[in-house]
């Protein structure tokens, strides 16, 4: 596969009650939970390369390392951006970041692997 570095996607959502740390179980405050931030980062990475994959393929997350440096409350708009840094066979490495209206709230590195959907699901 020959993915071009620099492929980018930004996913955006609004923080809802289900996304709050107190409701996810990752904390006890009514702020955007780190698991919700991480999921949005993964979504951005998945979508950054989705249109370039062979038919029958998708990507799955294999590793993510992030900081979550500032809280965001309910009703705020948040976005996550993923940028493809390198491709090593089936392994894709992304830079990821999240932001709200006030600026950066988290950043890190995410690795995804290109897989065949059917073969992967047959392993269940």
pTM value is: 0.96
Residue with tokens 């020959």: 2
Kindly name the residue from 9, 59, 66, 68 that is annotated as catalytic. 68
Kindly name the residue from 10, 13, 34, 58 that is annotated as catalytic. 34
Mean pLDDT, the chain, integer: 97
What lies within 8 Å, CB to CB, of 2 at 6+ separation is 87
Find out whether 85 and 75 touch, Cβ atoms under 8 Å. Answer: no
Q: Where do runs of H (alpha helix) occur along 5-33?
A: 21-24
**Does pLDDT of 69 surpass 70?**
yes
CA-CA distance, 121 to 99, in Å (whole number)?
Answer: 34
Active site (annotated) includes residue 110: no
**Does pLDDT of 60 surpass 70?**
yes
State pLDDT tens for residues 1-45: 678 899 999 999 999 999 999 999 999 999 999 999 999 999 999
Active site (annotated) includes residue 77: no
Q: What is the pLDDT of residue 85?
A: 98
């Amino acid at each position: 596969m020959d993915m071009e570095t620099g492929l980018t996607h930004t996913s955006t959502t609004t923080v809802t009650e289900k996304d709050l740390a107190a409701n996810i179980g990752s904390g006890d405050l009514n702020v955007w939970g780190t698991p919700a931030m991480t999921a949005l980062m993964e979504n951005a990475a998945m979508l950054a390369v989705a249109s370039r994959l062979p038919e029958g393929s998708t990507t799955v997350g294999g590793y993510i390392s992030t900081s979550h440096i500032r809280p965001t409350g309910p009703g705020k708009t948040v976005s996550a951006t993923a940028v493809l840094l390198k491709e090593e066979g089936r392994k894709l490495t992304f830079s990821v970041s999240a932001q709200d209206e006030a600026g950066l709230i988290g950043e890190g590195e995410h690795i995804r692997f290109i897989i065949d959907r059917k073969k992967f699901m047959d392993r269940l």
